[in-house]
């Protein structure tokens, strides 16, 4: 699950856009920071998944403290860092839009302001998605953004993260008898050895698709002329 560390699209986009940072240095450094955060948050999410899975296999779904705390800690980090993976890649897309705006102001029409802190405060994922879908309705990056950020998996992940970060540390409901479930947690989330595994697989699949489509977007709109190589 070192998807981002080894992803060709992730590595080559940073190299290529660094060679175009003179278009808009602020936009490039915001992109670069988002790309740093993307890899760090993903690694943290993977590590939380591994630690949680080990703890649930060793101590089960209803351990006493401190093992319960250990499981809850790793679940918290998994959901917080996992959603941050999506948020940081989306901010990277926004910064790419700002770089492209500096290259082609007529095409982008000042839709991706990023020069000041006030500009950056007004950024949000819904606005990013709508702008890309309106400007590039047939491009795969717009379709991937739209599908990802409207998916039930993303919406539930966001609700869980917000609750864990800002509201509660929920208890667990335990089942007995013929129930196929052993325990559930916030919003009916099943607590077992696959709780984080299935969600990390979903995250990796969608991030990989978005990175691939974004690489092709950069190739197309930043005028890379070689037909055989996406990045020079």
Band of the pLDDT at 23, cuts 50, 70, 90?
confident
- pLDDT tens for 140-196 read 999 999 999 999 999 999 999 999 999 988 998 998 876 667 899 999 899 999 999
Closest C-alpha to 52, from 33, 72, 35, 36: 72
Band of the pLDDT at 109, cuts 50, 70, 90?
low
Distance CA 231, CA 12 (A): 7
Cβ-contact 15, 43 below 8 angstroms: no
- pLDDT tens for 70-100 read 999 999 999 999 999 999 999 999 999 999 8
Q: Identify the residue whose tokens are 């559930």.
A: 184
Count Cβ atoms below 10 Å from residue 139 Cβ, excluding itself: 18
User: Residue 59 class from Cβ within 10 Å (0-12 exposed, 13-18 middle, 19+ buried)?
Assistant: middle
Position 7 scores a pLDDT of 67
Position 20 scores a pLDDT of 85
Q: 183-184 and 173-174 as β-strands: parallel, antiparallel, unpaired? A: antiparallel
- Under 8 Å CB-to-CB from 81, ≥6 apart: which residues? 41, 42, 44, 45, 48
Crossing angle of the two packed helices 152-166 and 67-103, in degrees rounded to 10: 120
pTM attached to this predicted model: 0.90
Band of the pLDDT at 231, cuts 50, 70, 90?
very low
Position 222 scores a pLDDT of 84
More confident residue, 110 or 225: 110
Position 45 pLDDT exceeds 90: yes
Position 138 scores a pLDDT of 94
Distance CA 183, CA 202 (A): 22
Position 89 scores a pLDDT of 96
Q: What percent of the chain has pLDDT over 70?
A: 90
């Amino acid at each position: 699950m070192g998807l981002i560390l080894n992803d060709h699209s992730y590595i080559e986009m940073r190299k290529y856009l660094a060679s175009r940072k003179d278009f808009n240095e602020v936009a490039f450094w915001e992109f670069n920071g988002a790309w740093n955060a993307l890899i760090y948050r993903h690694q943290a999410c993977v590590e939380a998944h591994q630690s949680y899975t080990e703890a649930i296999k060793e101590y089960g779904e209803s351990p006493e403290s401190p093992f319960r705390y250990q499981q809850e800690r790793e679940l918290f980090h998994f959901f917080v860092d996992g959603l941050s993976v999506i948020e940081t890649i989306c901010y990277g897309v926004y910064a790419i839009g700002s770089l492209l705006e500096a290259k082609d102001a007529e095409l982008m029409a000042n839709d991706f302001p990023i020069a000041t802190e006030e500009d950056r405060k007004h950024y949000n994922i819904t606005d990013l998605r709508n702008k890309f879908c309106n400007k590039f309705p047939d491009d795969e990056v717009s379709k991937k953004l739209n599908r990802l950020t409207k998916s039930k998996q993303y919406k539930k992940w966001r609700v869980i993260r917000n609750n864990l970060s800002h509201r509660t540390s929920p208890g667990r409901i335990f089942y007995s008898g013929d129930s196929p479930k052993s325990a559930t947690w916030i919003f009916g989330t099943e607590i077992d050895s696959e709780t984080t595994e299935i969600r990390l697989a979903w995250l990796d699949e969608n991030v990989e698709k978005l990175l691939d489509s974004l690489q092709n977007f950069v190739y197309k709109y930043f005028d890379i002329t070689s037909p055989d190589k996406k990045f020079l």
